[in-house]
Amino acid sequence: MPTDIAVLRQKIHGMSADHYAETLRTRLAEHPTLADTTVSLASTPAEERELLQEATVATGFNIDADLLDETDLDLFACVFAGTGHLPIDALAAHDVAVTNASGVHAPNISEHVLGAMLSFARGFPTGWRQKRERRWRSYPTTELTGSTVTVIGLGAIGQAVVDKLDAFDVHTVGVRYTPEKESPTDEVVGFDDPAGIHDALARSEYVAVAAPLTDATEGLLDADAFKTMRPDSVLINVGRGPIVDTDALVSALQSNAIRGAALDVTDPEPLPQDHELWNFDDVLITPHNAGHTPQYWERLTDILVENLETADETGAFENLQNQVI
């Protein structure tokens, strides 16, 4: 079932969609039944409108709901994991299937989390500071091995974190919406179990947040949570900034209630230059950068090609990987 694909205007982490389009072309050209599929890249709004009138599949950050009346799309493949910004109702009304990029970031973001843990355990920030000062002086460190780690959110990223921690013989506690499901962690508690969450926080040297922002997660790590956490614990947030109460975090750091934090997301974001969090030596701040990977377009291609194979075999854009509607 040959399918014309419109790659809409987009960049991710400074990488042009040219590479995405070329990767799709190369992969499809090698496919036994999809080799005739054409892939076109839009460079201007006018080109997007023209391509959307021809294509049955479009892929990008977003799509203008007003253009859907002019299209005959079967699938919109969103290049974000989140789809809350999309005109979902309009897409559904036009019988357009929608998929997301869930799982694309799992390898690199889980590496970021593990790197943050090892950085604190082995004292890398101290080493860097002493190197800048040309100071040869021993300093104490700890080990990640044998630690207890709570992972808040067991989606693709959280599960990848747990998988990587397996090599370090750590005890893991997962927090998820469905604790009754089989879990990759040694223990699991639900978001609706505050006593269980506090028990996990009280035992953990590392608390890694890899959850989306929802009513259940907003403000989850508040002043009461920091009061429960160990004084030698480290918070790592690669989820969403508002999951952590920023004022409570600043207070916890000021009073040495926790050891430190690695924040790839903040609230507010971007973090203002005069914010107190910049002043802590024991806080690593990265600008929502954990998602950066040179493999982004390749992994998106994997998802889209698999879904085109499914549609080719079944004759319908149903039961697709990462299907939202």
Positions annotated as catalytic residues are 240, 269, 288
- d(CA 172, CA 187) in angstroms, rounded, equals 6
CB 109 within 8 Å of CB 292 = no
d(CA 23, CA 144): 38
Instruction: Write out the two tokens for 299.
Output: 């992994």
Helices 106-122 and 124-132: crossing angle in degrees, nearest 10, is 70
Give the Å distances, CA to CA, from 273 to 32, 136, 269, 279: 54, 32, 11, 10
CA–CA separation, 114 and 104 (whole Å): 17
Distance CA 5, CA 10 (A): 15
Which residue from 49, 42, 43 is spatially nearest to 68, judged by alpha carbons? Answer: 49
Place of tokens 């997660």: 217
